[in-house]
Amino acid sequence: MSKVLITGSSDGLGLMAAQRLLAAGHDVILHARNQGRARDAMGAAPNAHGVVVGDLASIAETRGIADQANRLGPFDAVIHNAGVGNRERRIETVDGLEHIFAINVLAPYLLTALIKQPKRLIYLSSGMHRGGDPDLTDLQWKRRRWNGTQAYSDSKLFDAVLALALARRWPAVLSNAVDPGWVATKMGGRGAPDDLDLGSETQAWLAVSQDAGAMVSGEYFFHKKPQSIHPAAREVSIQERLLVACEELTGTPMPGTITNSPV
């Protein structure tokens, strides 16, 4: 039995992954943005071990989520599922950061840095990451003309960069990125063509399976099979520059190499 934390698990793919893991007998800690959504999450997954609450758009609340998680941990796996899609206009968080980057990239960075290292890390990316721009000079879209679709693609590329950066930095931790497919969630829309049930399978499998295919690190998966990834995600210089940028924005460095065993 494994203990797994899943961000953004009050609905959608995060909740589906939680329900899948709970049905298999694993302990799951849910995450919700506020108390109301936390109640909904526990109602949908009443066997969950608990729920951490906080808005990932806020650096302070993300720190609070990490504190709550550390009190409930340690974890065998953390699935960084939470995310937002492209928006019609650029909006800023309470910290003055571009909203998509703050939730999709900075929050998983900060949680990874602050939560006691698990045995496995899973970051949800997207097939749209292949259209992402690895240029880190304007992460907050203050100089460029706003393009929500591009901002989303960039954020999903940076999620893949994070996954591979941690696979390299923390060789004792299995760290991978997942494309869940374009599925009919609130983000994906009702007309999304991919299989919704399969959308939660790969991240749950990577979190707990002892299959040889799941016991790997530094890969990008779609439906339990490694796929090609944007070449920039494997570039150490880009990985390190992204980590430095996130450290500067949060004031929190990513811990160095760890040595616990990824059993």
DSSP per position, 186-217:
TTT-TT--S-TGGGGHHHHHHHH--SGGGS--
| Alpha-carbon gap, residue 66 to 125, rounded angstroms | 21
The one catalytic residue among 156, 186, 220, 224? 156
Side chain identity at 14, as an amino acid letter?
Answer: G
CA–CA dist 50, 204 (Å, integer):
18
Catalytic site residue 156?
yes
Strand partners, 5: 29, 78
**Amino acid making up residue 162:** L
d(CA 143, CA 140): 8
Q: Which amino acid is at 89?
A: R
Cα separation values, 198 from 23, 46, 87, 164, Å: 16, 22, 26, 23
CA distance 260 to 262: 7
Catalytic one of 152, 220, 224, 225: 152
225 included as an active-site residue: no
User: For the chain, what's the residue count?
Assistant: 263
Point out the residues that are catalytic.
Answer: 152, 156
